[in-house]
């Protein structure tokens, strides 16, 4: 089940952690308000530093201005810049309005447990966002977007507010973090960025990681999963600190993709490998046909990244899209296998100023499992 990842890890972890947790913390875990270091981020000599690449200035800081500085730091990131550097996050890590999420997720055949890896090493203060768990419980398709109410309940349980700037990272560099970036945006929260290069870049920069999760962090991961379950079971959840407002233009359904084959209102880009797109490589999930949506074009998500798994500069990104005949002046919808790496294409297009890219949530796992959806292929994969 989707929430089993959190449940299994927490069952073992709480045996050693739970005795140190005060009951009041458990009682209020859905309220999304927990003890944090509220001290302003003040460097030596009264200066707060933000990397010059973001065009920020050094300034004198007093306790009374710390909250204003935090808000300034969040809102001063360029609107079309979807990533922040490890240096920026390190400089702003303790700002009260900056929340960090470990959104690591891996393909089933990789046999990696993201929650266990989070417990072993994560950015200080980061909370775990369960990509499979914070999802629609009414479908068998993997990690589909949850409802507004369910997402708001889960994010509130993690202690996130609409005023917060959210920084998302993963254990690969840029992979599943892009999916969670898109999830926040599709629910109307634009103050969200991906950590460029993810945890590998953070560690390569020489910054510390925490080697064990606090009891509070474990309980919040559990609370988010429980909140999702309660919403879909029609049960009441705790007070909400986050309001979600669906942005329908960023989310496409199977029916919209069908219509687009004929209408061609949007350029459809598939982020899967060329071999899967052409139907010459088998799909990783059983029962899924090979091939692609007629009229779609293939730009594998890896073409958005450099060798360090960081987002390419605008000039290089533009070349990738132009080489495949994609016009940046026309609407775009992206897809992939299950709606994860399609968001990396959206991330790259966002850096180029296209902030309205839609993602086909069900992607090829939904399309390829239907017997009545048209499929194009260079060659049909052998059975």
What amino acid positions are annotated as catalytic residues?
Answer: 336
Q: Which of 37, 190, 168, 160 is nearest to 100 (CA)?
A: 168
Alpha helix positions (H), the chain: 4-17, 23-27, 66-75, 86-92, 114-120, 148-157, 176-186, 198-204, 215-232, 254-263, 274-278, 314-323, 342-351, 363-367
Q: Sign of the C-alpha dihedral, residues 276, 277, 280, 285?
A: positive
Q: Is 43 exposed, middle or buried (CB count within 10 Å of its CB: 0-12, 13-18, 19+)?
A: exposed
Question: Which residues contact residue 207 at a Cβ distance below 8 angstroms, ignoring those fewer than 6 apart?
Answer: 86, 90, 123
d(CA 272, CA 113): 23
Nearest to 73, CA basis, from 92, 46, 47, 86 = 92
What is the C-alpha separation between 112 and 354, in angstroms, rounded?
33
CA–CA dist 227, 154 (Å, integer): 6
Rounded Cα–Cα distance for residues 337 and 340 (Å): 7
Strand boundaries in 24-85, DSSP class E: 47-48, 59-60, 83-84
Distance (Å, rounded) from C-alpha 275 to C-alpha 9? Answer: 36
């Amino acid at each position: 089940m989707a929430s089993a990842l959190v449940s299994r890890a927490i069952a073992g972890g709480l045996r050693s952690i739970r005795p140190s947790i005060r009951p009041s913390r458990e009682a209020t875990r859905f309220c999304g308000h927990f003890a944090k270091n509220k001290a302003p981020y003040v460097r030596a000599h009264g200066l707060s530093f933000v990397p010059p690449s973001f065009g920020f200035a050094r300034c004198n800081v007093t306790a009374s201005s710390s909250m204003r500085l935090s808000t300034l730091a969040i809102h001063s990131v360029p609107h079309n810049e979807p990533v922040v550097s490890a240096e920026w996050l390190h400089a702003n890590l303790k700002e009260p309005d900056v929340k960090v999420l470990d959104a690591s997720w891996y393909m089933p055949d990789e046999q990696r447990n993201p929650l266990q890896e989070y417990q072993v090493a994560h950015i200080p203060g980061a909370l775990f966002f369960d990509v499979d768990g914070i999802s629609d419980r009414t479908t068998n398709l993997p990690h589909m977007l949850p409802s507004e109410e369910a997402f708001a309940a889960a994010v509130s349980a993690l202690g996130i507010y609409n005023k917060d700037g959210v920084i998302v990272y993963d254990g690969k560099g840029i992979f599943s973090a892009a999916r969670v970036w898109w999830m926040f945006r599709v629910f109307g929260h634009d103050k969200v960025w991906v950590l460029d290069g993810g945890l590998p870049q953070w560690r390569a920069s020489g910054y510390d990681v925490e080697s064990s999760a606090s009891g509070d962090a474990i309980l919040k991961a559990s609370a988010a999963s429980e909140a999702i379950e309660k919403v879909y079971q029609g049960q009441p959840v705790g007070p909400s600190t986050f309001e979600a407002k669906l942005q329908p233009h960023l989310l496409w359904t199977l029916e919209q993709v069908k219509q687009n084959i004929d209408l061609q209102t949007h350029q459809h880009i598939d982020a899967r490998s060329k071999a899967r797109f052409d139907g010459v490589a088998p799909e990783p999930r059983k029962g899924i046909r090979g091939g692609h949506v007629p009229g779609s074009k293939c730009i594998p998500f890896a073409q958005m990244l450099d060798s360090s798994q960081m987002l390419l500069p605008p000039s290089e990104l533009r070349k990738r899209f132009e080489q495949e005949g994609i016009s940046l002046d026309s609407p775009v919808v992206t897809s992939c296998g299950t709606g994860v790496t399609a968001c990396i294409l959206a991330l790259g297009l966002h850096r180029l100023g296209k902030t309205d890219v839609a993602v086909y949530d069900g992607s090829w796992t939904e399309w390829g499992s239907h017997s009545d959806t048209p499929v194009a292929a260079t060659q049909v994969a052998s059975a």
